[in-house]
Amino acid sequence: GGIITQTPKFLIGQEGQKLTLKCQQNFNHDTMYWYRQDSGKGLRLIYYSITENDLQKGDLSEGYDASREKKSSFSLTVTSAQKNEMAVFLCASSISGGALSAETLYFGSGTRLTVL
C-alpha cells in the first residue's frame, strides 16, 4: 500500500497572502491532482500533472499555481488569498495507464484553509 501526505493539515492566512500547500505520495504513481472541496459543491479540479514537470489546468485553475518538482511531490500555491475564504484542498494520485477517466484516485486527508 501507499499513502498521500498533505501538509499542513490546517492553514490560516491573511487576505492577499500567497500560500503554499504541499503533497507527497509513495505509491510511485505517475499522475497527481489538486482538488478544491467546498461544502455542497463536490470536488473541482484545480491542476493535475501526468509526469514530473508537467502541468495541466483544471476547471478552477485561476488564482492558483502548481509545481511538480519530482514524481513523488506536487505543490499548490494560492497566489492571493481571498478574505473569508474557507475550503478544503485535496491532493490525489493515480497510476495512469493512460485512461485518466477510468482510473481510481487515491486521496490525502486534505488541507483546510481559512482566510481571515
Partner 1 sequence: GNSVTQMQGQVTLSEEEFLFINCTYSTTGYPTLFWYVQYPGEGPQLLLKVTTANNKGSSRGFEATYDKGTTSFHLQKASVQESDSAVYYCVLGSNSGGSNAKLTFGKGTKLSVKS
The correct pick among 40, 62, 70, 84 for binding partner 1 (CB under 8 A) is 40
Verify binding: residue 66, partner 1, rule CB under 8 A: no
Residue carrying C-alpha cell 497510476: 95
Q: Which of 76, 81, 65 is nearest to 23 (CA)?
A: 76
The correct pick among 57, 63, 97, 114 for binding partner 1 (CB under 8 A) is 57
Verify binding: residue 90, partner 1, rule CB under 8 A: yes
SS3 45: strand
Verify binding: residue 62, partner 1, rule CB under 8 A: no
Q: Which three cell numbers stand for residue 58?
A: 483544471
Verify binding: residue 102, partner 1, rule CB under 8 A: yes
Shorter beta-carbon distance to partner 1: residue 84 or 102: 102
Asked if residues 47 and 59 have their Cβ atoms less than 8 Å apart, the reply is no
Number of residues that bind partner 1 (CB under 8 A): 26
Amino acid at 54: D
